[in-house]
Amino acid sequence: MKIAVIGTGYVGLVTGVALSEVGHTVTCIDVDPEKVEKLSHGIPTIYEPGLEELIKKNIGQGRLFFTSEHRTGLKEASVIYIAVGTPQRKDGSANLDYVEHAALDIAANIDRDTIIVIKSTVPVGTNFHIKNLINKNTKNGIRVKIASNPEFLREGSAVKDTFHGDRIVIGSEDRETADVLAEVNKPFEMPIIKTDISSAEMIKYASNAFLATKISFINEIANICESLGANVEEVAKGMGLDHRIGPDFLKAGIGYGGSCFPKDTNALVQLAGNANHEFNLLKSVIEVNNKQQILLLDKIMTRFGDISGKRVAVLGLAFKPNTDDLRESPALVMIPKLAALGANVIAYDPIAVSNAKRQLGTEIEYTEDLHSALNNADFTVIITDWPDVKKIGLTVFNKLMKTAIVFDGRNCFDLSDVRQSEIEYYSVGRPDQAPELIY
């Protein structure tokens, strides 16, 4: 089937590449000619494991194309995916400007009746708004059907999730549209849930809100564990073995970040308010997460009192491993606060340094070498649990740092190993490991 995808961000690019991989002919459209040029030569514009290989493979096999010309990209397309960003407005609601612009571009350039699939995360009611917008602006009697097909991809494993996900949700107005999209997605061999459009739109928000709630819940438990001398990892293990709860998203740390959870939880609170419902539970989830992102700062100041002039190694800039995305990363909160308190920050990340420089500026040091970051540091703060951070031998902290003091926001190390080392160690929801420490 001939398919067009508007937008080449995380969702659009991965969607387009995956659809070409299962046999469809796909043209990805983006208004940025520079991005299109790179992608046309097989150079990905985002970091995502496995993506570059699939782009090059499907370009080579003549199934994947990129263009900045809507008329070219939409020509004879049977299905058109809208996969543009819906960033957060100041009031927490989703900004639909990009979706509406995509709709008007579709209306001006389609040459046949077609199915429009909204892949972007949008508030309930958006699909019908976009359908009406397109139908009002098309010419020659062309009409479109609309459908919601929300994505459930995790950055850093988006390719894997596309081919090995839990379900595909299709919200449509009629059975015929749902059947066409089920056929499009059949090669992915996943359970397909067919529902009405409003329910499909809500499934996306409800899913992300629930996962965010689990994260904030276990972080609250972690904070209580610290006060009572319990170990949150043991607590989470005992909870997760209950099949009604499950172990996923019960890992304590310094909060969630990224492009989805913060934006979608705020948007759902706003959406609920528009429906005259006060979503108090989700407001608490957001409040807990905001506080959790600076948890380590409280620990640092309790330990030192004054960090002016101290050299601090910050390990990790991206909001999670295997991505260069810094959106809502705790690093964006922690690093400015450390610098404002007079610390000399050197930040390490294997792939996100260039993005960080654009957001954090050049007043701090950056490195892509883990050992360089640790060298002569007064203390270390772990923000992102990159594999090379988790695998580092604890003796390296002793060898390289001025004082081997580690504040671990991701609980990267087993406490039994820490006890056998000589490092001073503070983590989340677990007993501090600071033998013979004199304040």
Contacts of residues 52-55 at CB distance under 8 Å and 24 or more positions apart, as own/partner, are: 54/17, 54/18, 54/20, 54/21, 54/159, 55/17
Quick check: is 412 catalytic? no
d(CA 47, CA 34): 17
Host H or E run for residue 367: strand 365-367
Give residue for tokens 């096999």. Answer: 61
Q: What sign does the dihedral 237-243-248-252 (CA atoms) show? A: negative
Q: Tell me which DSSP letter residue 154 carries.
A: -
Length of the chain: 439
List the beta bridge partners of residue 27: 4, 65
List the beta bridge partners of residue 82: 6, 118
Which of the following is catalytic: 28, 225, 260, 412?
260
d(CA 236, CA 222): 9
List the beta bridge partners of residue 169: 193
d(CA 17, CA 426): 42
Per-residue DSSP letters for 169-228? EEEESSHHHHHHHHHHHGGG---EEEE-HHHHHHHHHHHHHHHHHHHHHHHHHHHHHHHH
For 346, the 3-state DSSP assignment is strand
For 340, the 3-state DSSP assignment is helix
d(CA 128, CA 12): 21
Of 319, 313, 351, residue with least CA distance to 333: 319
Of 69, 68, 53, residue with least CA distance to 21: 53
Per-residue DSSP letters for 26-50? EEEE-S-HHHHHHHHTT--SS--TT
Of 207, 218, 213, residue with least CA distance to 240: 218
Tokens of 254: 């310094």
Query: Which residues are identified as catalytic?
Result: 260
